[in-house]
């Protein structure tokens, strides 16, 4: 029986239970979970700000999560290339991206290569942005 390989990617800054839930739920759908961790340069490019936690530390944190088989460096928002590179048959993303133009395009490209997209429930109670805002308010 062939191993089912899953792939997901993100910043994973200020690691929280929402990130953990994504990995835990993704792992339920695959035998081997690969997680791309966006580099500081990539985050700066598309968010116009740097993560709080440096890339190497975020990579080490994600690599230490029991649901993650391997964490890799991610330098692009492209999801097709890494999925193909790693032999993934499934790409996971949070449900907050469902029906967004970017992910409608990703779904089309991935499906043309036989790669399924699974939208996992977004943990609404917590986000990195909310944590940053709470910290800013505490420091005022």
Between the alpha carbon of residue 55 and those of residues 4, 35, 69, 80, 123, the distances in Å are 27, 13, 18, 22, 23
Whether 131 shows a pLDDT value over 70: the answer reads: no
Question: Which H, E and C letters describe 99-110, residue by residue?
Answer: CCHHHHHHHHHH
Q: Three-state SS for 134?
A: helix
Tens digits of residue pLDDT in 38-48: 999 999 999 99
Are the beta carbons of 31 and 3 closer than 8 angstroms?
yes
For the chain, give the mean pLDDT.
92
Whether 133 shows a pLDDT value over 70: the answer reads: no
Helices (H), 68-139: 80-86, 101-111, 128-138
Q: What is the CA radius of gyration of the chain?
A: 15
For residue 109, the Cα-to-chain-centroid distance in whole angstroms is 18
Whether 132 shows a pLDDT value over 90: the answer reads: no
Q: What is the CATH number of domain 5-138?
A: 3.40.50.620
Whether 114 shows a pLDDT value over 70: the answer reads: yes
Rounded to whole angstroms, the Cα distance separating 128 from 108 reads: 29
Tens digits of residue pLDDT in 58-105: 999 999 999 999 999 999 999 999 999 999 999 999 998 899 999 999
Residue 138 pLDDT: 67
Are the beta carbons of 13 and 99 closer than 8 angstroms?
no
Q: Three-state SS for 2?
A: coil
Helices (H), the chain: 17-27, 40-47, 55-63, 80-86, 101-111, 128-138
Whether 12 shows a pLDDT value over 60: the answer reads: yes
User: Which residues make beta-bridge pairs with 94?
Assistant: 120
Q: pTM here?
A: 0.89
Tens digits of residue pLDDT in 16-55: 899 999 999 999 999 999 999 999 999 999 999 999 999 9
């Amino acid at each position: 029986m062939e191993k089912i390989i899953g792939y997901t990617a993100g910043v994973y800054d200020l690691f929280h239970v929402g990130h953990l839930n994504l990995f835990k739920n993704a792992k339920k759908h695959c035998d081997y979970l690969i997680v791309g961790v966006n580099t500081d340069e990539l985050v700066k490019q598309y968010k116009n700000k740097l993560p709080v936690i440096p890339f190497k530390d975020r990579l080490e944190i994600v690599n230490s999560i029991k649901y993650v088989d391997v964490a890799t460096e991610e330098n692009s928002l492209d999801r097709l290339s890494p999925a193909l590179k790693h032999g993934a048959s499934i790409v996971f993303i949070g449900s907050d991206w469902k029906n967004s133009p970017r992910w409608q395009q990703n779904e089309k490209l991935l499906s043309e290569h036989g790669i399924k997209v699974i939208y996992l429930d977004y943990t609404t109670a917590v986000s990195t942005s909310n944590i940053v805002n709470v910290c800013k308010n505490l420091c005022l």
